[in-house]
A and B are shown apart, each in its own frame.
Chain A
Amino acid sequence: MSTPNPSARNGSPAAVLRTVVGLVLMAGGYYLSLHAAEIPWLSFQHTLEKQGIPLDLGITAATIGVFLILFPIIRFFYIAPLEAAIQERNTQLERTFSEAEELRSEMARLRSEYEERIAQTEADARAQIQQQIREAQQMRTQLMAEAAERAEELLARAREDIERERQKVLAELQLRVVDLSLAAAEKVVGANFDSEQNRKLVSEFIEKVEAAG
């Protein structure tokens, strides 16, 4: 804010004119006030005074002249600081309003950004949720397929085990039958094998041993 320069204004033509006019009015007014009774066109002041309205145009003009002469001083010591304070205040207010406006704009921008960010975050979250759901569904499908495959495998293995066990039991049973049959055969042969048959068997062995060589 710029402070008015009284000295510059005092040096300007308007200031000089105002001072001259002030001096003329002060001098003229003082003269009119002293010689009012002698001037006809000022007789109405006498009439007004009688009616209770005291009016002295000479003093009024002299006061105006004094005011015009003293105006730069009043302006320098009172009006200019007041104008400066007002200007300062206005500037502060403007700056405050400007800052408030800027803050409002910033808040609006931030709010917009925030809303955009929230929207983006929501969109991202939705996308991620969708992705997670898809992955979970894929995993579920895969797990179910694996579980089915595993179950099938276990079932097949169980069938193989059962079949193997069945074959094993069957073989054991057949071996047992072989054992029993041969044990019975041994008993039968032992009971019915006489010396003659034994000698015949020995003779055959002797022939076979030599023939095999």
Chain B
Amino acid sequence: MDARIAKRYARAAFSAAQKVGAVQAVEADLGALAELFEHPGAFRDFLLTPKLGRDAKVRLLSTRLQGQAHPLTFALLGLMLRKGRQAELPQVAEEFRTLRRESERVVFAQVASAEELGAQERDALVRSLERRVGKRIEPSFAVDPSLLGGVRVAIDNTVFDGSVRGSLQRLRRILEYDVLRQV
């Protein structure tokens, strides 16, 4: 898969969505379609099967998606089908989401905690992270029992690890470094 192609489609779709004020709708459509495509099933098979021609796929999509997806989403998917780029759908959706975040100066944060965080904890954590990075945070919360305790936040390439597992891993690295330094 070529990331440049996905970026090109996403940029074109985002620009068009901005003009018609349908960024959120198109992003939601693309996210849902990408999730469908990423899991094995009828939708994925339909997009990838070589038994149907591209025009036939577009016609079938138009009947199925009519009224359920934004016309811009349908136009983008039809174009990708005609160009044989339907396999790039998840990357296009991700790039679209990234463009939207960049335009809104929002950063995405993946928050993992050993136990489900309460609403207050979530709000406090997001506020704290926003003050830290100086941008609005768009969080994604997940529960990861392997953390044992605490929380771990990943923003782009930066990880803030406040988990028990992270502490143990840091302790492990320190001990290993001490051992290897003696050799």
Contact = CB atoms under 8 A, between A and B. Distances in A.
Interface of A: 167-168, 170-171, 174-175, 178-179, 182, 185-186, 189-190, 193, 195, 197-199, 201-210, 212-213
Interface residues of B, number: 30
Contacts, number: 81
Given A167-B182, A203-B121, 16 more contacts: A175-B179, A178-B175, A182-B172, A186-B148, A186-B165, A189-B148, A198-B114, A198-B115, A201-B162, A202-B113, A202-B125, A202-B150, A204-B162, A210-B131, A213-B132, A213-B133
B128 A175 contact: no
Interface in B123-146: 124-125, 128-129, 131-133
A206 B124 contact: yes
Interface string B147-182: 011110100000010101100100110011001101
Chain B interface, DSSP helix/strand/loop, else mixed = helix
A-side interface mostly: helix
B117 interface: yes
Interface string B93-131: 000000000000000000001110100010011001101
A190 B162 contact: no
B52 interface: no
A190 B115 CA distance: 12
Contact of A193 (B124, B129, B149, B182): B149
B176 A205 contact: no
A171 B132 contact: no
Nearest to A173: B179
A182 B171 contact: yes
A190 B148 contact: yes
Interface of B: 113-115, 117, 121, 124-125, 128-129, 131-133, 148-151, 153, 160, 162, 164-165, 168, 171-172, 175-176, 179-180, 182-183
A189 B149 contact: yes
A8 B152 CA distance: 157
B121 A199 contact: yes
> Shortest 5 CB-CB distances between A and B: which pairs?
A205-B162, A213-B132, A201-B150, A210-B128, A174-B179
